[in-house]
Structure 1
Amino acid sequence: MAVLEATNPAFEQFVRDTVLNMPAARHLGFEFGRIAPGDVEIIQPYREELTQHDGFVQGGVLGSLADFAAGCAAGTLLPPGWVNMTIDYTVKILAPAKGEKLVARGRVVKAGPVMTVAAADVYSADGAEETLCATAFVTMRNIRAARS
């Protein structure tokens, strides 16, 4: 597998600031674990308001975490002055999600100047034990950021 390199020397701070300034990300209340070129980990502490019956995390939340993790992984490879937006994603829920936290790990599959394809796996974690709950493919559109 090819080693991915960030073109933005401040990629880690860019991804963190961009995402954590989004109202949806603030609402979910997740935090970042690892941020590396083409590879991002998001940690979602268990919160009752994100669940459905029996305390399982709702499927839309799993999809959102997968989308954020994959999009962030893609964002680490953007040049300065560029952002990305999801244009398509597919999520397969593989197991119920219930644990002390969710861990979403995003990775770039194929980076391009216009579109980037990324993937993410979402795990339910209790202590050191992890269960794969969902997997996703996400297509991102890379665009020049609007000037403010």
Structure 2
Amino acid sequence: MFEFGKKILESQPFSVLLGTELEVFEAGTANLSLVVREELKQQHGFVHGGVVSYLADNALTYAGGSVLGDSVTSEFKINYLRPAIGDKLVAKASVLSSGSNQAVCQCNVVAIRGDGERMVAVAQGTITKVEQKL
């Protein structure tokens, strides 16, 4: 399952551009990470909210996809808790509930730096199985 997940990530041009890595991909859970670079920051020096949102969205879809198969995000909500300051971001997503066609998932995004890790955002979303190629 993990190798399949890596191939999916490698087929996503935006994920490749950002340098996203798959750390965990198991039934009901997925962790994606991203090394923080200057190009990903906004004018105050922390990671841009769009990057944090992307990471949460993709992790949610990976978690949902781990139980549904080929999937897309139907909707998601994110709460930014504090500035994303650190050397690496990790989005840790898990399935809360799933059926045959959709899953509701949650995600915690943490920033990792020398003094440990701090949660910077939380997200929840609905992931929907793709029945056919779009």
Establish whether TM, by shorter chain, passes 0.5: yes
Structure 2 residue 43 is matched with structure 1 residue 53: yes
Q: 1:127: Cα distance to partner?
A: 3.2
Q: CA RMSD, aligned part only?
A: 1.6
Mapping for residues 43-122 of structure 1, pairs under 5 Å: 43-78=33-68, 82-122=69-109
SS of 1:55's equivalent in the other structure is: coil
| Deviant stretches of 4+, over 6 Å | none
Q: Which has the larger radius of gyration?
A: 1
CA distance in 1, matches of 2:73, 2:24: 21
Tell me, which stretches of 5 or more residues in structure 1 are unaligned?
1-10
Rounded Cα–Cα distance in structure 1 between residues aligned with 2:10 and 2:28: 18
The match for 2:12 is 22
Q: Which amino acid aligns with 2:128?
A: R
Contact 1:83–1:145 at 8 Å: present in 2 too? no
Helix, strand or coil at the partner of 1:68:
helix
Deviation string for 1:30-52 (max 9, x for gaps)? 11112221111111101111110
Q: TM-score, normalised by structure 2?
A: 0.92
Provide TM-score, normalisation by structure 1: 0.84
**Unaligned 5+ runs, structure 2:** none
* CA deviation map 1:70-118 (0-9, x unaligned): 111111113xxx4101110100000100111001101111111111111
Q: Secondary structure at the match of 2:70?
A: strand
Deviation of 1:19 after TM superposition, in Å, equals 2.3
Given that 1:12 and 1:76 are in contact with CA atoms closer than 8 Å, whether structure 2 keeps it comes out as no
Cα distance in 1 for partners of 2:43, 2:114 equals: 23
Distance 1:19 1:32 in 2: 7
How many residues align? The count is 134
Alignment CA distance shift 1:72-1:128 (3 Å)? farther
Q: Which moved more, 1:85-94 or 1:137-146?
A: 137-146
Percent identity over the alignment? 31
